[in-house]
Amino acid sequence: MALAKRYRLAKKRDFEKIKKEGRLVQTPLFSVLILGSQINAPRIGVIVSKKIDQRAVVRNQLRRRLAESLKSLLDRLPKDSWFLFLVKSKLKEAEFREIGQEIEKIL
């Protein structure tokens, strides 16, 4: 991921907690689970399933594209929230502009 380490979700238990307790928001390109936290910085995780594409190269490209779009919007994200992005297959054909617009709709 291209995000700074302080903005990333890294631990499996954090991913599991968001999956269990987070609020789901759907867009055509991805779904987002949002959960409030005690940490004073937004944390972001991205999941790209093998159902999207079997090739790790493609999954990593999608992860990087989403992270790159998020970098410009980090200052607008709520400081006390965690975000888990679940990528959908339509993200393969999406442009950066479209990805950014979908993220802004969520905000």
pLDDT single digits (tens) 5-46: 888 888 999 999 999 999 999 999 999 999 987 777 889 999
How far CA 43 is from CA of 39, 48, 62, 83, in Å, comes to 9, 17, 18, 6
Q: Which helix (H) or strand (E) holds 46?
A: strand 43-47
| pLDDT above 90 (res 62) | yes
Q: Provide the pLDDT for residue 78.
A: 84
Q: Answer yes or no: pTM beyond 0.95.
A: no
| CATH, domain range 5-106 | 3.30.230.10
pLDDT single digits (tens) 77-102: 888 899 999 999 999 999 888 998 99
